[in-house]
Amino acid sequence: MNARTDKKCNSNSIYTADLTPGHRVGARQRGSDRFPEGGGYPDNCIYSEILRAEKKSADIVLSELKEIGLREDLLLMAEKIGADNFLQMWQFLDCYYEARNSGRFRVAFPSFDKYKKYLRNQFIKSKISLGLSKMEIVKELRSIGFRVSERTVRRVKNAHNN
């Protein structure tokens, strides 16, 4: 289990504990009742444990996601990356943002162009270090689908030299 991504956090699950005074988790709480089975964490069943126990197929999980009313873009994402990967990502984000008040959280993704621009700039820098001319770099970039000018190459070169 990867501690970073499979962090067990409070979430709605079938395992709950009463956290009212006298029913706290663990035995170090002053005046707490000890659980006969030992300490624990409230709501600590992560979805993957349930899925492994029930051996749900991706099609079943996708239909469940649709049934609970997820937006179409999220359903398409689940189909694209796989139901289990989607659920892992969803759980990670839920734990990371801990948005328990409203039951929602927002994640803003920058445009994928940001990553493509980074890759383009890294490509330009590597070609500059090999001694290629601006025009040669432009031709290579255009051959792989990037629309760039010599001016763009010059800007990246100047930023790289500073």
Please report, rounded to a whole number, the percentage of residues in the chain having pLDDT higher than 70.
Answer: 64
The mean pLDDT value for 133-157 works out to 95
Residue 77 within a domain: yes
pLDDT at 100: 59
In this predicted structure, the answer to whether residue 134 has a pLDDT above a threshold of 90 is yes
Residue 68 within a domain: yes
Residue 119 within a domain: yes
Residue 10 within a domain: no
Say if residue 118 is in the same domain as residue 93. Answer: no
Residue 134 within a domain: yes
Domains in the chain: how many in total?
2
Q: Residue type for 138, please?
A: V
Say if residue 121 is in the same domain as residue 88. Answer: no
Determine if residue 110 is left, alpha or beta; phi over 0 gives left, psi from -120 to 50 gives alpha, anything else beta. Answer: beta
Residue 91 within a domain: yes
Residue 151 within a domain: yes
pLDDT confidence tier of residue 41, bands split at 50, 70 and 90: very low
CA distance 98 to 146: 40
In this predicted structure, the answer to whether residue 10 has a pLDDT above a threshold of 60 is no
CA distance 126 to 143: 16
Q: Say if residue 31 is exposed, middle or buried (CB neighbours under 10 Å; 0-12, 13-18, 19+).
A: exposed
In this predicted structure, the answer to whether residue 150 has a pLDDT above a threshold of 80 is yes
pLDDT confidence tier of residue 161, bands split at 50, 70 and 90: confident
- Domain span at residue 141 reads 113-161
Residue 28 within a domain: no
Q: Residue type for 39, please?
A: G
pLDDT at 6: 46
pTM: 0.58
Say if residue 117 is in the same domain as residue 153. Answer: yes
Say if residue 91 is in the same domain as residue 122. Answer: no
**42 close to 19: Cβ distance less than 8 angstroms:** yes
